[in-house]
Amino acid sequence: MTTYCKAASLFSKALAIIYLAAFVSFAVQARGLIGRQGILPVNDFLNGVWGHLSQDSFWRVPTVFWWLRSDLAVVSVCGCCAVIAVAAALVRPNSMLQRTLLGLLFAGYLSIVSAGQIFMGYQWDYLLLEAGFLAIFLTPDPTRIWLFQWLLFRLMFESGAVKMQSEDETWRNLTAMRYHYYTQPLPTPLAWFFAQAPLAFQKLSTLLVLCTELILPFGFFGPRWVKLACAVATAALQLLILITGNYTFFNFLTIALCLLLVDDRFLGVSSPTTGAPRANRFVTAALFLFIMTLSCAGLAAMFHTPFASPFTKLQQRIAPFGIVNEYGLFANMTTSRLEITVEGSDDGQNWKPYVFRFKPDDPTRVPRWAAPYQPRLDWQMWFAALGSYQENPWFQHFVVRLLEGSPPVLALLENNPFHGHPPRFIRATVADFHFTDWATLRSTGDWWKREDKGSYFPVVSLR
């Protein structure tokens, strides 16, 4: 019988470490993002939710910050959960104690995701919640291990399916990777080098991505060696994504899920005949039925089949908890990159730019490494550039905080060009950014080519 005792132990430890990175990452940004002087204060958000939903608010926005709303409370919850994550990584794997600690981590991260608003709405946040929920029940039981394999299948297959359903030309003509390296939110230095590859390489890469997402996931349920080969191929794709783009803990978590396709025999360990945690069959059956019903309904909805309809209301009620989610990254490939530059001025004539820590700004600056840390303001600036400031109300709040000189918000940036006082005026311009080529890099030292496109946000002042 194929067993996964070692893989289950490794995954539970890896998950605890990923939780640690996620909590620490948000803790150092929390005051600037959702604190009282932050861009979107959690207190204002929860008051607004209560005004609209009343008693249903607790279910629709499940978070401990209904009762703990101070900046200190937000940071303290992150800090406590970071300590719990360390403990979860050190205790006996898959023990009741570890699963209890993982349950606390799930509750803590759910609270942050619910209160974090637009800054915590990424697919990897919900992937961590779903994997974290399943981990509360993790034992080497074959059915429970299979649920993790099913999660990995849905993550990969749905990511490929949305690309085909979008009818995006770049995926259909295999040119998507030609644009991906420089248009993705936060490329790494290696992304520049991959972008220099010839078109034939980019087309082959695009084809391999589609095959890995649409075909290989079915191998997760095949014979042992097929399963292992598909796990290696999937992990290899994640490594390539990891070295060319800063996707916080997403790639690490996906690789960790691949571990649960690797059996004990392959890892060179013998399956324990005694001492292994025994799974409660009733809990296993209930968990399996619950997860499969909602996840199959989600897949059915993706392909517009009638099976999904009876479960729509249940899905809507469960959705705020992130237990079963839908996935699909880069359904439509962006083919140009616009970057917003925010500038301040004391007189309306001389403008000084605010420099962000990771997003492209200065053409001479090398793209930076960030993962597993996620600079969430930098990420939102990428999304804001895809639309107008009217479509991104949070951006207007950001501008107001700069005009007020909010210390927590300024701490999210690399520099504050106005020391001792906030600027009198703020504006934002937009420019097209594109990777340079080898000749330009050698002659000028520029990694990016910048072409100004005009105004993004008009000149404003508090007075």
Give the pLDDT of residue 428.
Answer: 97
Question: Cα–Cα distance between 256 and 378 in angstroms, integer?
Answer: 26
- Tens of pLDDT, residue by residue over 166-194, are 989 999 999 999 999 999 999 999 999 99
Structure tokens at 171: 């995926």
Is the CB of residue 370 less than 8 Å from the CB of residue 411? no
* Range name among 88-92, 253-257, 418-422 with the lowest pLDDT average: 418-422
Place of tokens 């399996």: 288
How many other CB atoms sit within 10 Å of the CB of residue 122? 19
| Rounded CA Rg of the chain | 23
| CB-based contacts of 236, cutoff 8 Å, min separation 6 | none
Strands (E), 109-168: none
- Greater confidence, 264 or 401? 401
Sign of CA dihedral 448, 451, 455, 459: positive
CA dist., res. 410 & res. 242, Å (int) = 28
What is the Cα 371 distance to its own chain's centre?
11
398-428 residue pLDDT tens: 999 999 999 999 999 999 999 889 999 999 9
Question: Tokens representing 160?
Answer: 């490929």
Closest CA to 241 of 218, 215, 212, 219: 212
> What average pLDDT does range 37-53 have in this prediction?
95
- The whole-angstrom separation of Cα 433 and Cα 451 is 7
| Domain boundaries, given as residue ranges, for the chain | 5-321, 337-460
Phi/psi at 37 (5° precision): -105, 15
> In the predicted model, what is the mean pLDDT of residues 256-267?
93
User: Rounded to an integer, what distance in angstroms lies between the CA atom of residue 40 and that of residue 48?
Assistant: 12
Check residue 47 and give its pLDDT: 95
For the chain, give the mean pLDDT.
94
pLDDT digits (tens, 9 = 90+) for 269-313: 876 544 455 678 999 999 999 999 999 988 888 887 776 677 778
Averaged pLDDT, 338-342: 97
Q: Which two tokens stand for residue 297?
A: 């309904």
Smallest Cα–Cα separation from 381: which of 406, 361, 401, 410? 361
pLDDT digits (tens, 9 = 90+) for 345-369: 999 999 999 999 999 999 999 999 9
Q: Which amino acid is at 308?
A: A
Q: How far apart are CA 238 and CA 252, in angstroms?
A: 8
Cis link prior to 41 (omega < 30° from 0)?
A: no
pLDDT of residue 300: 85
What would the pLDDT profile of 117-158 be if each residue is shown by its tens digit? Answer: 999 989 999 999 999 999 999 999 999 999 999 999 999 999
Contact present, 153 and 327 (Cβ < 8 Å): no
3-state helix, strand, coil in the chain (%, to 5): 60, 10, 30
DSSP state of 277: P
Residue-level pLDDT at 271: 62
The whole-number pLDDT of residue 419 equals 85
Report pLDDT digits (tens) over 440-451: 999 999 999 999
